[in-house]
Amino acid sequence: MTDSQQVQAVPQQASGQETPFVWTRRHTMIVLVICAALVMETIDVSIMNVALPPIKDEFGFTEADLSWVVNGYLVPFGGFLLLFGRVGDIFGHRRMLVAGVAIFAVASLVAGLAPNGNTLIVMRALQGVAAALISPMTLALLARTFPEGPRAKAIAAWGMAAGLSGVVGLIVGGLLTVGPGWRWIFLINVPVSLLVIVGVLRWLGHDQRPARRTQRFDLVGAIVSTVGVTLLTVGVLQVSEVGWGSARAIVPLTAGLALLAYFVFHETRVAEDPLLPASLIRIPNVAGANITQALVGSGMFAMLYIATLYQQDVLHYSPLQTGLGYIPQTLVILVTAQQTPKLVAALGMRLAVVVGGVIATVGMALLALSGPQGSYLVNILGPSIIIGVGMALTFLPLSLAAGTGVPDDRQGVASGLINVSRITGGALGLSVVAAVAAGYTGSQRAAGVDEVTALTDGFQVGFLISAGLLLLSVFTALLLPPKPANSSSDAAVK
């Protein structure tokens, strides 16, 4: 057995007992490579926000066209996650990760050199497809590479990387846009992708394909779920543009929900080897993790969106100033995430998420105190730090719970499912919050309130709804396992 294969198996003594797991440099490199792949694709959700104005100017986009520079990435990303999770289970997570990163590199290169707006939007969609292939592979590879105790440490790093991507994207996007230009937001992905591919091939052993009997593919379930989630994502994104009453939102939402309802029937009554087995959803911690992740994602998406608008539209900060303002929250997430494995080992998954949800709720409620004459130091800094602590406490236990008790040949599906919950739940929550906030701002304008006050009033309502979503996640977290993590987890992270 080669060195790279040894990291995917726990050596056994002659007596048949497992030898103690020893964390080596190779394990560190595996975590770094996988986190680099994750950050590369998740950061593209937020990194575009600060680059939209120069892209609009260069290509002459309308507001509707410009929205698809962002949405063109999110729609296939959310739509293909579950399908590609199962593809990885069948054909190998390592193999599919390399394929996803390679596609992402090509799409990024063409997007960075795009001669026109249509090319850019098509390449953003291809990036989204690649991201949907990368994301479930990263968590599945960690779950299959590390035994239960050290897995907490590895997934803590994964969760920290996922949590940091949103705020880091705003910072990096601002720096690249005012520096070498917006095209480097894409071009920088090319060398990073090459390094990730080399790292995966160097440090991760070959895929161990599942037994032949597990390799049947639920084609109908794959098509129905992919189209259903895609339509639902399109509908959610249309809500933020045209409102809930428009056919542009109602039609895809209705069609998406109908397809997903059939998907549930197909998986439970028809499919011989379902894409998403009912037995997986019946695992309480899997169901609880996904519901809670959707609510937490809603709060995080909304916080970044509304807080960014408040700083730019009310405090009149530049995009770069706004991005740099998230550095303290980034540092807090880093520090807190490093301590989370020990807290999870001591408190258990359930209590850790409950504590994190309560803390994040308090921070979001404090953001609702931001007024027309507010400031970054008084109204943004403290609440964002509190939210960062709360978010960091939820990343690890939710990621652990989503894969706990799941067979190895379904880890890709479980990973895809938790990411669908994060992306689709976050997008849906953001659409609801944005629509209600915009509606309240409009009613304030109609009542004769000045523009800045009307905007701030709408943002306050948005922050309060976000706080409510986070508070609701505290109650859904009660579905998670109550027992503390295995004592080996504690030993592994010391």
**Which among 208, 253, 257, 258 has a CA at the least distance from the CA of 234?**
253
- CATH number for 24-208+273-493: choose from 3.40.980.10, 3.40.50.2300, 1.20.1250.20, 3.40.50.1450: 1.20.1250.20
The pair of structure tokens assigned to 263 is: 């998907």
The pLDDT, as a whole number, for residue 471 is 94
pLDDT at 20 over 70: yes
DSSP string, 200-237: HHHHSPPP-PPPGGG----HHHHHHHHHHHHHHHHHHH
Using the Cα atoms of residue 188, residue 200, residue 71 and residue 419 in order, give the sign of their dihedral.
negative
Give the pLDDT confidence of 379-415 residue by residue, as tens digits.
899 999 999 899 888 887 888 888 777 777 777 778 7
pLDDT-based confidence at residue 207 (cuts at 50, 70, 90): low
The pLDDT, as a whole number, for residue 105 is 96
* Residue 44 DSSP one-character state: G
Give the pLDDT confidence of 290-310 residue by residue, as tens digits.
899 989 988 887 777 788 788
Separation in Å, CA 155 to CA 8, 30, 90, 238, 370: 15, 12, 22, 34, 35
Mean pLDDT of the chain: 82
The pLDDT, as a whole number, for residue 103 is 97
DSSP E strand stretches across 116-234: none
Distance CA(51)–CA(43), nearest Å, equals: 13
What would the mean pLDDT of 251-280 be, rounded to a whole number?
Answer: 84
Q: What is the dihedral of CA 218, 220, 222, 223, to 10 degrees?
A: 160
The pLDDT, as a whole number, for residue 212 is 44
Distance CA(302)–CA(281), nearest Å, equals: 27
Is 207 within 8 Å of 94 (Cβ atoms)? yes
The pLDDT, as a whole number, for residue 4 is 43
- Please report where in the chains the tokens 């230009």 appear, as a residue: 181
Give the pLDDT confidence of 82-104 residue by residue, as tens digits.
788 888 888 888 999 999 999 99
12 - beta bridge partners? Answer: 18
pLDDT at 374 over 50: yes
Give the pLDDT confidence of 137-174 residue by residue, as tens digits.
998 888 888 887 788 788 878 877 876 776 678 778 87
The pLDDT, as a whole number, for residue 323 is 75
The pLDDT, as a whole number, for residue 378 is 87
What would the mean pLDDT of 264-283 be, rounded to a whole number?
Answer: 80
Is 247 within 8 Å of 55 (Cβ atoms)? no
The pLDDT, as a whole number, for residue 368 is 92
pLDDT-based confidence at residue 215 (cuts at 50, 70, 90): low
Q: Domain limits of the chain?
A: 24-208+273-493, 218-272
DSSP string, 69-112: HHHHHHHHHHHHHHHHHHHHHHH-HHHHHHHHHHHHHHHHHHHH
Q: Which residue has the higher pLDDT, 456 or 149?
A: 456
